[in-house]
Amino acid sequence: MAADLDNAEIADALERYASLLDLSGSGYYTVRAYRRAAELIRPLPTPVADLLRQGKVQTLRGIGPGIAAVLEELVTSGEIARARELEGEVEPELVGLGRYLGLGPQRAVELGRAVGARTAGELREAIAAGRLASVRGVGPKTEAKLRAALAREHEARPRRGLLLNRARELVGTLAVQLEGHLAGDPRRWADVSNRLAVVCASPRPEQVLDRFATLPLIVAVIDRRPDRAIGVTVEGIPVEVVAVPPERLGTELVRATGSSEFVASLGALPAAADEESLFRELGRPFVPPELREAAWAPSLATGVPPLVELDEVRGDLHVHSDESDGKATVFEMAEAARDRGYDYLAICDHTKNVRVVPGLDGDDVRRQGEEIAAANERLAPFRVLRGIECDILPDGSLDLPDDILTDLEWVQASVHAGQRGSADAMTKRVVEALRHPSVSCLSHPKGRIINHRPENALDLEQVFEAMIEEGVAVEVNGLPDRLDLRDAYVRAAIDAGVPIVCSTDAHSTRGLGNMQLSVATARRGGATAADVLNTRPLDRLPLGPRS
């Protein structure tokens, strides 16, 4: 049978296959290779079937003989036989629903088999009908927990909030596939996403919801109403799709984007085709998604100042090279930064005290200085700055001798160990470091690792005071599991008059892309370009030690 699959359908099939391989315990790199092949094929202008016929498919980056053979099979037969086998073995529907309900993959499949359920719907029915009680090893507690989780379906939340980069990627992909709009928490660039949503405009909403149910990323639909549905991914993450006629798109986007507090503060929402007209009809200035967090603030009644934009950033002031724990050389990082349109980049590798990864001592810093000079010769007028991410030692001193620090143009000061110290000890330690004339900026001040480590007890009010006195800036770190400072603290820094630096802390050329997350976090704190130091040209940066 000739299958006539187009590139989007081929990409869907590869993605689904990748998820199945993942569930069956295939290696990380194999799974990733199929996911990447899907990403590559989806937007290709030439049909993959033609490339196969011409024997050219392996000229595509990342497509080796293994994936080429799978593509050949897919194009000739319309399916991947191994995928069909795996579907019987790993039962992605049960796994997805099970994870959403808090069951491990194996347990979900076991339970499903014990009550004769092959699909999410059947498992749900079995739970609702109390048939689980007869399964060995299922106590009344487990059963009650599963029932309670099912009862919450129409307000489905993931078991643990998603990091911003993952949430944007998942909802962004689904939005493209449904020709809809990314909404929910990731549209506000929330540091952790609990509500994931896509809003679609269509004269035939039921068609959108039908299509949603067939997407490869969605293994089971757990709730469906006339204008919305909730599906879960194989990881058990629930995503809501809202489908409405075009004349209500603006209304539903506002509803699906703002925090519940913000939406409630708007009162009854009129029907509107776009968000701008909705705010106009309400007689209120437009509020960018990043600020739709708290209830409507009266101080905003005059309108929102223009928030800093990604393309206003002129350089990145905190990145690593392969001389500590980065993946790329100084030159590669610099070249990638220049290719992003930046004017400058500060290389800030770790110092020795960090221990868990390689750190630089004084001699290493000098040697790196020569490498930076060489990169500058090749890349001028682009400027690579001599920087360091210098550990703050327990007594507040810095992890490099003064004569080395004096030579540097940009010094990030960082606490990496001892985040559990008391507020008093932490604050003394950090303030002491800020008094050092070489320090330019404090890195990831609250030290949190989202979902893993809570914020430290550092007293930001005292720290901001010292920063104003010393002329030191504060970082908004763009690593997706840090986003530190976060929104409310950004606001506090701006109110105190402390300059902000949006940085990526990139450990690879790809990591430079996290600038978007840092800028979005600064925007959530209401930052304008004037508040952000690295929107300035090089000659207006405060470089080198303060006199």
Q: Residue numbers of the site for Zn ion (CB under 5 A)? A: 389, 414, 505
The values of phi and psi at residue 391, to 5°, are -65, 140
CB of 318 to Zn ion, least distance (A): 6
Q: Quick one: 120 or 515, whose CB is closer to Zn ion?
A: 515
Q: Are strands 315-319 and 196-201 parallel, antiparallel or unpaired?
A: unpaired
The Cβ of residue 54 has, within 10 Å, a number of other Cβ atoms equal to: 10
Name the residue nearer to Zn ion (CB basis): 228 or 448.
448
Report the nearest approach of Zn ion to the CB of residue 391 (Å): 9
State the minimum distance, in angstroms, from the CB of residue 408 to Zn ion.
15
As measured in angstroms, the least distance from the Cβ of 510 to Zn ion is 15
State how beta strands 383-391 and 410-414 pair.
Answer: parallel
User: Considering beta carbons, is residue 399 or 505 the nearer one to Zn ion?
Assistant: 505
Look at residues 68, 85, 90, 91 and name the one whose alpha carbon lies nearest to residue 14.
Answer: 68
Q: Shortest approach of Zn ion to residue 467 CB, angstroms?
A: 18
Q: Which 8-state DSSP code applies to residue 188?
A: G
Q: CB of 365: closest distance to Zn ion in angstroms?
A: 15
- Kindly state the smallest distance separating residue 412's Cβ from Zn ion, in Å: 7
Distance CA 1, CA 185 (A): 44
First to last CA, the chain: 78
- What does the CA dihedral 161, 164, 165, 170 come to, rounded to 10 degrees? 60
Q: What are phi and psi of 400, to 5 degrees?
A: -145, 150
Q: Nearer Cβ to Zn ion, position 316 or 389?
A: 389
| Residue 154: both structure tokens together | 């129409």
Contacts of 164 (CB under 8 A, 6+ apart): 186, 189, 190, 191, 192, 193, 480, 483, 517, 520
Among residues 255 and 318, whose Cβ is nearest to Zn ion? 318
Task: Give the nearer residue to Zn ion in terms of CB position, either 14 or 347.
Answer: 347
Q: How far is the CB of 415 from Zn ion (least distance, A)?
A: 8
Nearest residue (CB) to Zn ion, 195 versus 507? 507
Residues whose CB is less than 8 angstroms from the CB of residue 433 and which lie 6 or more positions away in sequence, other chains included: 392, 396, 397, 398, 413, 439, 442
- Please name which of 157, 159, 160, 189 lies closest in space to residue 172, comparing C-alpha atoms: 189
Nearer to Zn ion, 343 or 475 (CB): 475
For residues 308 and 302, give the distance between their C-alpha atoms in angstroms, rounded to a whole number.
18
